Every structure is written in C-alpha cells, then in structure tokens.
C-alpha cells in the first residue's frame, strides 16, 4: 500500500468511526428535541397513554360524583377541565357536579363550554336551560322576600315561580303527582 492509499484509507476509516460514534451518541443520549426524544416526535405511542390517563382520572372523578362526594368530584373535574380544556364530556360532568352543589353560575359556564365544544351535545344545552331556570327560581325567591306581600310585583313573582315549577316538573301544592 502506498502513502496516498494509506492516507485515503485512514481518512475513510476516521470518517466511518466518527459517524458511528455520532450515531451511538445520539442513540444513547436519546437525540432529544425539546423535552422528548426525536424518535418520539414521529411516533404516536404517547397519545394512547395520555388517553388512558385521562380516562382513569375521569372515571375517578365520576366515582366521586356518584358516591356523593361532590366537593372532591368538583375539584377532580376542575383539574381535568384545566388539563383537557377541549373535552366536552369533562365540561358536562363538571357542570353537573357544580349544579348539584348549587353553584349555578359556574355550572352555566361549564355547560356553555361543553355546548361550544360539541354542537351535538344536547344534554349540555338542556342542563344549561335547567340551571338558568334554577337561577331564575333563586332570584324570584329573593324578590318575593323583599316585595310587599300583596303587591302586584309579589303576585307576579309567585306566578312566575309556579310556571318554573311546571317547567322543571316539580309537584305543586294541592295537586297530585301523575
């Protein structure tokens, strides 16, 4: 082997060793892009894990709701709504929980979010209407407490209360439920 061939062989050998070392270093270091490995940027296994995690958290929050632990359920659904703000079913359940707690303003906002995120979610719009009726009932209770008993306004408030009870299906005094 002459000197020129030996130099060319050495350069090629060094280049191959260098490329091998870089490849190994990238594999060992994980070739990070941002805070995750570069190979993870093109693969999608992280998404199912996130979905599984979300489902577990949702099931836990729903179990709290069903067991009557409304304060804890509301906190769990609030956390979920912050972590997954585009999930309409989370907003719907959060609204249901807030409604049971009597937090009608926050429940209405949650139902509006659910309806805005999923136009096919009729329950969110129905629940929003029911919450608005509950808010109206509370306002009428307050009005009646402040109005003179025989005033026209008091009688109007009483009439509106009766109408709301009919709308929400509450039994009225003096009537038998069917």
pLDDT digits (tens, 9 = 90+) for 85-130: 999 999 999 999 999 999 999 999 999 999 999 999 999 999 999 9
In the block, tokens 């804890």 appear at: 72
Are 7 and 59 part of one and the same domain?
A: no
d(CA 74, CA 91): 11
Q: What is the pLDDT of residue 166?
A: 87
Are 26 and 64 part of one and the same domain?
A: no
Are 27 and 103 part of one and the same domain?
A: no
Are 126 and 55 part of one and the same domain?
A: yes
Q: What is the pLDDT of residue 7?
A: 41
Band (pLDDT 50/70/90 cuts) for residue 171 is low
Are 20 and 76 part of one and the same domain?
A: no
Q: How many distinct structural domains can be found in the chain? A: 2
Q: What is the pLDDT of residue 48?
A: 67
Are 137 and 94 part of one and the same domain?
A: yes
Are 125 and 88 part of one and the same domain?
A: yes
- Model confidence, pTM: 0.65
Query: What is the domain range of residue 33?
Result: 3-42
Q: Which residues pair with 33 in a beta bridge?
A: 36
Are 68 and 155 part of one and the same domain?
A: yes
Band (pLDDT 50/70/90 cuts) for residue 50 is confident
pLDDT tops 50 at residue 47: yes
Domain at 66, CATH number: 1.25.40.10
Are 59 and 142 part of one and the same domain?
A: yes
DSSP string, 95-126: HHHHHHHT-HHHHHHHHHHHHHH-TT-HHHHH
Are 73 and 27 part of one and the same domain?
A: no
pLDDT tops 50 at residue 178: no
pLDDT tops 60 at residue 25: no
Are 55 and 118 part of one and the same domain?
A: yes
Band (pLDDT 50/70/90 cuts) for residue 49 is confident
pLDDT tops 80 at residue 24: no
């Amino acid at each position: 082997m002459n000197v020129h061939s030996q130099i060319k062989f050495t350069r090629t050998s060094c280049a191959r060793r260098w490329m091998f070392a870089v490849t190994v270093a990238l594999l060992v270091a994980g070739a990070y892009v941002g805070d995750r490995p570069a190979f993870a940027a093109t693969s999608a296994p992280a998404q199912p894990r996130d979905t599984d995690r979300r489902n577990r958290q949702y099931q836990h929050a729903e179990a709290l709701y069903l067991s009557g632990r409304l304060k804890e359920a509301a906190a769990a659904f609030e956390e979920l709504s912050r972590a997954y703000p585009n999930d309409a079913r989370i907003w719907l359940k959060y609204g249901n929980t807030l409604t049971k707690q009597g937090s009608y303003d926050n429940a209405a906002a949650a139902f509006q979010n659910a309806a805005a995120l999923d136009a096919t979610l009729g329950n969110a719009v129905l629940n929003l209407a029911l919450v608005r009726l509950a808010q109206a009932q509370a306002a009428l209770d307050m009005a009646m407490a402040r109005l003179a008993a025989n005033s026209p306004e008091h009688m109007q408030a009483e009439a509106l209360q009766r109408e709301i009870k009919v709308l929400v299906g509450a039994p009225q005094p003096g009537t038998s439920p069917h």
